[in-house]
Amino acid sequence: MKEGEAAAFRTDWLENRVDAQQLGLDITNTYGSWPYFADKMEERFKDSFEKETAKNEILTLRQGNETAQAFFERFEEKKRWAGYTNRINEEFLISLLRRNMNKPLVDRVIYGGHIPRDYQEWKRELIRIDYIWREREKEKKGSDIGKKPYSEQKKEGEKKKDGTGYTYTGSGERMEVDKAKFRTEGRCYRCGEKGHRSFKCKDAQKKKPQFNVREFLEKMTKEEREKLLEGF
């Protein structure tokens, strides 16, 4: 534990232990206890691992076939987990948007006569232009459907709903629904359940790679634990 987060944890642990001893406190069940040490390790490194995971995932997050709105919902979840919440990170985040969102969409923003100045402007323009393009595509498809027999139009227009906040067409393609309705009802539009926000959804959390600090520590032998504590 000589560098990075591990070194910081060791420094904090030693300083707090010395403070407790100088105050004359009994550290038998705290800084001299393996269970207490394991608790502090888990508390410190669980969040750190998730943060590093999010930093890696946001680098390769691609838009693909989803809407810009849906992409930003995933992108901003990773942004929060990674800790990229300050203005100092804006230039880096914009570079990711320009690289990872669909090139035709990014080009429309760049060559539209006004290049956005900051992250929020990029977000608004990308969502706006993506929405306009998709609406035009729907209109084109609508004019084609008008030429087909009524029975085929009805079949193609059939939609099915489930509890996840999405509507499905007859071909099984997922479509976004009005998320404002879900917010009004206090429901998560990822799973359809009440009681939590979408970015705290358990379904989303399950997709995050997990490193179980507690499990790692419990697998250590008694000798390994004693040796580790000696270093503190």
Do residues 9 and 41 lie in contact, with contact meaning Cβ atoms separated by under 8 Å? Answer: yes
* Tens digit of each residue's pLDDT (9 = 90 or more) over 19-69: 888 888 888 888 878 788 788 877 777 667 788 889 999 999 999 999 999
User: Is the CA virtual torsion 62, 197, 94, 136 positive or negative?
Assistant: positive
Residue 35 lies in a domain: yes
Looking at the fold, whether 86 and 45 belong to one and the same domain comes out as no
Instruction: Using a cut of 0.75, tell me whether the model's pTM lies above it.
Output: no
Contacts of 166 (CB under 8 A, 6+ apart): 174, 175, 176, 177, 189
Looking at the fold, whether 86 and 115 belong to one and the same domain comes out as yes
Which residue segment(s) compose the domain that 108 sits in? 63-147
Give the chain's domain count: 2
Residue 188 lies in a domain: no
* Tens digit of each residue's pLDDT (9 = 90 or more) over 120-175: 999 999 999 999 999 999 998 877 655 666 555 555 545 444 444 444 444 444 44
What is the spatial distance between Cα 119 and Cα 40, in angstroms, rounded to a whole number?
A: 36
Looking at the fold, whether 28 and 68 belong to one and the same domain comes out as no
Beta bridge partners of 166: 176
